[in-house]
Chains A and B, each alone.
Chain A
Amino acid sequence: MKALLKKEFRLCLHPTALIFLAFAGFVFIPSYPYEVMFFFSGLSVFFICLTARENGDASFSCALPVKKGDVARARIFMCVILQVALLALAACTTSVKQLCFSSQAQVNQAGLMANTAFLGGGAFILGLFDLIFFPLYWGAPEKVGVPFLLASIAEFMLIAVFLICRHTVPFVRDVLNTPDPNAMSIKLAVFGTGILFYVLAVWGAVRLSVKRFCRIDL
């Protein structure tokens, strides 16, 4: 697995995947739907899988002394590393904004303000993308577009739900959309639930992907 992960980073990693990590800085844009940074994370996964397809990576990797299922596992783990890095960077930029900016500057008219609850929402978005994209992709690795389209639609629908709730649901508007450390226990619960969903979604994505990939012929 270690060698496969190294191979993924050396051969399959698309440069945009690293550039899009810098989008954790979106939280400093005034009144912007910060959740969009998580869509870009999905876009980088799409580019990675597209690069792999164009280079015949599935056949190349499966001919190496590895189990076929590990090829799918390694790709997903690389993407998870990038997603966790994005969440960690977003946590850093959110903390900087919470500590260094005034309460007035925290207000986000476009969506949820950058706080702990927002990070939990990000974990939900990433998990949903993984759960839809990877099993579809590993069922037919030569078709990257359709899985990405379907996963992106689901992602944007979830983002839209977050944005609508921020304006219309009192609990979200008045409790979750407040600067930290206000209502911190509730926000931590949202964050924890988001992370739990992400972990379960990745676990499900890995299981389904491996199962589907092992069934196909290359």
Chain B
Amino acid sequence: MTALSVYGLQKKYPAFELNSIGFSLEAGRICGLIGANGAGKTTLLKSIVGLVSAEGECEVFGHSFRREERVVKSLIGYVGGGFRYYPQKTVRAVARAVAPFYTAWDERNFCTRLDGYGIDPGKKIAALSDGMKVKFYLALALSHGARLLILDEPTSGLDPLSREEFCAEIVRLAREEGAGVLFSTHIPSDLMRAADDIVFLSGGRMLAAGALPELLNAYAFVEFSDEAQARETGALGIHVGRNGCTGLLPRGKGAGARSRPATLEEIMVCLELEERRKEE
């Protein structure tokens, strides 16, 4: 079942434009939204949950955001960046304020999840570590029956162990509870741990969208003898570094050059460099 469908989402600012974004996410799958700082990840996520008014259409489990805003919002668990909501209030106080909005709110479920995460409901949110804050917001979302989790840079500022725990938790939620998860990040290792699908943004445009293994299989990372050879073969994101001249080539192209499967980070960097080169 399709958890999220985005059609032709567009948002124009004086100095930035989110340009006709379209993709879909199946329930039970995790989609990583990647891109450099300023690529439009937060704008896209905010547009999906209606915090930013954009042109285009979003559907959540078949419900149109424009026509059924409340229904769609009740199916979504959104966690904005920075976790800055009500730091001086206790976990319990925020949960009590949020619960009346949802007919499907399950207090026992919420308490069980908090207990499982080791979160004291009497604690102030400011006293929780960033990792615990993410888990608290997950508990909040899942206790009102959210079937689509939209998380804006949830791993930003987390230590490696907390990031690992977060990734393990969203994989469990997707596999065992069937939640669709869309999360933005610029940390490739998080995507390798958790993501099934990738949406890659650069300068407000969607450079790639699809299954992560397909994206990884699509490109080879190639070392060239010099820049001229790299240009001749039509390599993408050519750059000269410590290991000589390197770039990205579609798999099967550039026979004879030293190549190996590209990592996600290499694909991100090379496609981004190629985009910037085109703009120049």
Contact = CB atoms under 8 A, between A and B. Distances in A.
Given A10-B97, A55-B87, A56-B84, A217 B53 contact: yes
Nearest to B93: A10
Contacts of B93: 10-11
A63 B49 contact: yes
Nearest to B49: A63
B86 to A, nearest CB: 5
B80 interface: yes
A215 B52 CA distance: 9
A59 interface: yes
B90 to A, nearest CB: 11
A65 B71 CA distance: 7
A3 interface: yes
A64 interface: yes
A6 B97 contact: yes
Contacts of B74: 65
Given A63-B51, A65-B73, A65-B101, A11 B80 contact: no
Contacts of B51: 59, 62-63, 217-218
B91 to A, nearest CB: 13
A143 interface: no
B46 A217 contact: yes
A64 B84 contact: no
Interface residues of B, number: 29
Given A63-B49, A66-B70, A68-B50, A3 B101 contact: yes
20 contacts: A3-B101, A6-B100, A10-B93, A11-B86, A11-B93, A55-B84, A55-B86, A56-B84, A56-B85, A56-B86, A60-B80, A62-B50, A62-B51, A63-B51, A65-B69, A65-B71, A65-B101, A67-B69, A217-B46, A217-B53
Given A63-B73, A66-B70, A68-B50, A55 B85 contact: yes
A218 B52 contact: yes
A63 B80 contact: yes
B89 interface: yes
Nearest to A11: B97
Nearest to A216: B53
B127 interface: no
Contacts of A59: 51, 80, 85
Interface string A182-218: 0000000000000000000000000000000001011
A71 to B, nearest CB: 11
Contacts of B86: 11, 55-57, 60
Contact of A56 (B73, B80, B96): B80
Contacts of A2: 100
Contacts of B76: 63
Contact of B96 (A10, A60, A217, A218): A10
Contacts of A7: 97-98, 100-101
Interface residues of A, number: 21
A215 to B, nearest CB: 8
A60 B78 CA distance: 9
A140 to B, nearest CB: 15
A50 to B, nearest CB: 13
Nearest to B141: A63
Given A7-B98, A59-B80, 5 more contacts: A10-B96, A55-B89, A56-B86, A65-B74, A218-B52
Contact of A60 (B71, B85, B102): B85
A64 B46 contact: no
Contacts of A10: 93, 96-97
B94 interface: yes
Contacts of B87: 55
B150 to A, nearest CB: 9
B41 to A, nearest CB: 15
B85 A67 contact: no
A56 B85 CA distance: 5
Contacts of B85: 55-57, 59-60
A215 B84 CA distance: 23
A65 B70 contact: yes
Contacts of A55: 84-89
A155 to B, nearest CB: 30
A21 B35 CA distance: 51
Nearest to B87: A55
Contacts of B88: 55
A212 to B, nearest CB: 13
A59 B79 CA distance: 10
